[in-house]
Amino acid sequence: MLAEPIGRHRELDRVERELFLRSTIGRNLPSTRELAELMRDVAFEAGSTIYHEGDVAEEIFFVLRGTVALSKAGGVRHEYGPGSVIGIFDVEQDKPRARTALALTDVALLALSSEDRLELLEDSFEQTSAIIRMAAARLDEFARYGGGPLDPGVTLAPKPEPLLLIERVFTLRDTPAFRRASIQALVSLAPAADEVRLAAGERLFERGEARAVLFVVVAGCLELQRADGQRERFGAASLLGGGAAFGDALVRQSARALTSAVLLRIREEDFYDVMEDHFELARSLLAYLASEQERRLEEREEAASRGRAPPHEDARSAR
């Protein structure tokens, strides 16, 4: 259900709206007007609810003016000012609203429906890849890549050599980043990958080597070591380095196999080529990146509530 403004609908400052579009999301698009055609403007009075936790998420909102608070029952409240994007994580993951959005002051928003946004991205591949890189860079900032506390001993599974195509497709389908992609897309991606086999203890790459490449673990356990000495482990059906791997994160790491391991190495160029032909792959990846960012923010909130780190949210950010 589209959000219905319940407050007095203020006539938005047209200049402000156009300036906003030109200086933010519309800047890299061929036509700001084209983007504007897809949006509607909504206004809410202070104290009114923009959407409730549990509502169907169909739109993302760009804050033009005013302050919006996002909170979930019993959780921390975050405030967002002009230039922020709200509701995007839910829309990307196609799930109900995780938080309630409340107008703290009179707010002016631009609303863009999920369908229209996807259509826009499908037609603008550069924009899509830029968003992916941006989300990856944001994940990189969290200094956690989503590795788990794996016991290397239980991650061993014999795999035929060479890997069967279907085995590759199964692995990709089980990998969270590609879980929502179409089978057709995975069937196209699977043969484009190279198979890498490592013995226990063998290096996959050293710092500075892993440029424009992605690794999907088929079997075994890999350890990623960051420049600050922190280590994370990745097991079967996981993307080495998590969502941050779509940026420059891997260049600054080194990786080695803790057990004998099988991986798929996918050149970034090949990945984007398949993505251009199969937009659902981009949708799947965007959903994964959104879920990862949300998870990191929640971990940070939890740590903050335990007094381990201060809660921090950029005023011009997305959630």
Q: Which helix or strand (DSSP H or E) is residue 90 part of?
A: helix 88-93
Binding mask 134-163 for other proteins (x = CB under 8 A): --------------------------x-xx
Ramachandran category for residue 228: left, alpha or beta (phi over 0 → left; psi -120 to 50 → alpha): alpha
By CB under 8 A, the residues from 231 to 270 that bind other proteins are 269
Kindly tell me which residue out of 154, 157, 183, 315 binds other proteins, with binding defined by CB under 8 A: 183
Kindly tell me which residue out of 24, 49, 225, 291 binds other proteins, with binding defined by CB under 8 A: 24
Helix (H, G, I), strand (E, B) or coil at 93: helix
Point out which residues pair with 60 in neighbouring strands: 112
By CB under 8 A, the residues from 44 to 103 that bind other proteins are none
C-alpha 255/C-alpha 242 separation (Å) is: 13
- Nearest to other proteins of 62, 142 (CB atom): 62
C-alpha 258/C-alpha 268 separation (Å) is: 25
Contact range with other proteins by CB under 8 A, out of 7-15, 130-138, 142-150, 303-311: 7-15
The token pair at 305 is 């509530």
Helix (H, G, I), strand (E, B) or coil at 162: coil
Q: How far is CA 160 from CA 163, 191, 214, in A?
A: 5, 16, 22
Q: Does the protein bind other proteins through residue 277 (CB under 8 A)?
A: yes
User: In what order do the strands lie in the sheet containing 39-44?
Assistant: 39-44, 107-113, 59-65, 85-86
Q: Does the protein bind other proteins through residue 34 (CB under 8 A)?
A: no
Kindly tell me which residue out of 134, 169, 196, 251 binds other proteins, with binding defined by CB under 8 A: 169
Residues of the shown chain interacting with other proteins in the complex, contacts defined by CB under 8 A:
1-2, 4, 6-9, 13-16, 18-24, 27, 33, 36-41, 110, 113, 115, 119, 126, 160, 162-166, 168-170, 173, 182-184, 187-188, 190-192, 269, 272-273, 277
